[in-house]
């Protein structure tokens, strides 16, 4: 995260929005302090027989609108302040798209790339056992995040179920379908981005068929977004990249062919018929829609002036710095903020949870239809607020989200 403390950034965002909304400091204090934080240090037996102690966290930011929801990440740099910030941002993301959740986040400081599958399983099961007192299908429902996947979610579901003595599919989302997962979960974030881009093109009176897109990041979110922008909106995808570099083809790329090339070679670089470019060059390509779907803070005060896209759709969390936000807005570029644009993932997680609680499952067509309705309505609310307040889309989304959470806090009152 560099020198920026993400939790401090999250607090400053709430302070700024609080001033606009005229909130008293008491309420801002409630909004900026997580309701519950748990730090656990736990031993795990490694494959070579030695015992390693890992540190894990679970932070629950706010319960006002419902149970907490948020991912679990495995990364060497996981820290309490990072998890605090991410839990707060989850509260705003859920409120922006109208989900009856508060935000949570969890993580274990580890390097999953250096661990075997058996070590990851033992670590996961021990971590979940340690945080079990504060999670549950009606309390706090974890999900996948950085370097965690459907298999990790299956281990979590099994661990929790073994402790209570019966299967509890609703304890976690992002599971394989065979143990209570939902259709459409894998591409949910990308589909939400696609619906937001569609609405943005409409309000900006931009023709889809003549539009071009550049996508930074070719993991699950990036590659599915590129595919859906081409196949469902008819846009021409002219550039994509991954951590090794990028490719540019003004005549257009077929994301499926690029995906196959990456699967064979390990990178999108050197794709036949395309020119190799850097990740920095991709951001500055002349295109209709730019989708930063890789790392945080890639659009900064240093390069925002050179962004030539007409719409920036945040596929990643926090890819644009605060200073860059203002530069893009002043240039007339429409930025679709992460708490709106990439909320398709948590929305379909919500659908999965609802299905698990009912033991009644929906078709893929029904999932797509419900997600379309949620994202379209959320976009319309944020866009209308941005117009009415004469502000950017991120500020508008925060105004709506924070106001909704404050209303819930005030209506519920202070117990006892």
Kindly list the catalytic residues. Answer: 105
Q: Which helix (H) or strand (E) holds 188?
A: helix 188-203
What is the Cα–Cα distance from 152 to 158, expressed in whole angstroms? 10
What is the Cα–Cα distance from 174 to 171, expressed in whole angstroms? 11
The contacts of residue 328 (CB under 8 Å, 6+ apart) are 299, 304, 307, 312, 320, 335, 392
User: Which 8-state DSSP code applies to residue 302?
Assistant: T
Q: Which helix (H) or strand (E) holds 144?
A: strand 140-144
What is the Cα–Cα distance from 350 to 69, expressed in whole angstroms? 9
What is the Cα–Cα distance from 59 to 106, expressed in whole angstroms? 6
Environment class of 288 (CB within 10 Å of its CB; exposed 0-12, middle 13-18, buried 19+)? buried
For the chain, the 3-state helix, strand and coil shares in percent, each to the nearest 5, are 50, 20, 35
Specify which residues 247 forms β-bridges with.
240, 276
Specify which residues 190 forms β-bridges with.
none
The contacts of residue 143 (CB under 8 Å, 6+ apart) are 69, 70, 71, 72, 153, 172, 173, 174, 345, 346, 349
Q: Look at residues 31, 6, 34 and name the one whose alpha carbon lies nearest to residue 19.
A: 31
Measured CA distances, 201 to 55, 164, 235, 315, 344 (Å) = 45, 49, 11, 16, 18
What is the Cα–Cα distance from 295 to 215, expressed in whole angstroms? 12
Q: Are 182 and 150 in contact (CB under 8 A)?
A: no
């Amino acid at each position: 995260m560099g020198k920026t403390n993400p939790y401090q950034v999250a607090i400053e965002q709430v302070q700024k929005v609080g001033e606009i909304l005229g909130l008293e400091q008491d309420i801002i204090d409630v909004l900026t302090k997580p309701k519950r934080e748990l730090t656990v240090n736990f031993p795990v037996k490694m494959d070579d027989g030695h015992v390693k102690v890992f540190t894990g966290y679970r932070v629950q930011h706010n319960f006002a609108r419902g149970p907490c929801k948020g991912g679990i990440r495995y990364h060497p740099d996981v820290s309490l302040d990072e998890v605090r910030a991410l839990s707060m941002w989850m509260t705003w993301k859920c409120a922006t798209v109208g989900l009856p959740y508060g935000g949570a986040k969890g993580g274990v400081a580890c390097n999953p790339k250096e661990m075997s599958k058996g070590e990851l399983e033992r670590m996961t099961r021990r971590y979940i056992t340690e945080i079990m007192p504060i999670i549950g299908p009606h309390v706090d429902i974890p999900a996948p995040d950085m370097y965690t996947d459907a298999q990790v979610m299956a281990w979590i579901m099994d661990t929790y179920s073994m402790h209570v003595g019966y299967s509890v599919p609703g304890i976690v989302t992002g599971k394989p379908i065979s143990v209570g997962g939902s259709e459409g979960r894998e591409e949910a974030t990308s589909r939400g981005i696609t619906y937001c881009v569609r609405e943005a093109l409409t309000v900006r009176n931009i023709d889809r068929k003549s539009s071009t897109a550049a996508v930074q990041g070719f993991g699950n979110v990036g590659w599915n977004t590129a595919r859906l922008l081409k196949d469902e909106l008819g846009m021409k995808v002219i550039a994509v990249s991954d951590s090794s570099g990028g490719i540019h083809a003004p005549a257009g790329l077929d994301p499926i062919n690029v995906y196959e090339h990456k699967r064979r070679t390990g990178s999108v670089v050197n794709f036949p018929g395309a020119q190799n470019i850097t990740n920095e060059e991709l951001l500055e390509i002349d295109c209709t829609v730019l989708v930063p779907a890789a790392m945080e803070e890639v659009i900064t005060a240093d390069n925002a002036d050179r962004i030539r896209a007409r719409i920036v759709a945040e596929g990643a969390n926090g890819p644009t710095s605060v200073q860059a936000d203002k530069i893009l807005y002043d240039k007339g570029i429409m930025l679709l903020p992460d708490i709106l644009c990439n909320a398709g993932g948590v929305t379909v997680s919500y659908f999965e949870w609802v299905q698990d609680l009912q033991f009644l499952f929906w078709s893929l067509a029904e999932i797509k239809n419900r997600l379309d309705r949620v994202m379209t309505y959320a976009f319309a609310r944020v866009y209308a607020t941005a117009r009415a307040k004469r502000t950017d889309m991120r500020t508008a989304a925060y105004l709506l989200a924070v106001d909704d959470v404050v209303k819930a806090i005030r209506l519920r009152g202070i117990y006892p």
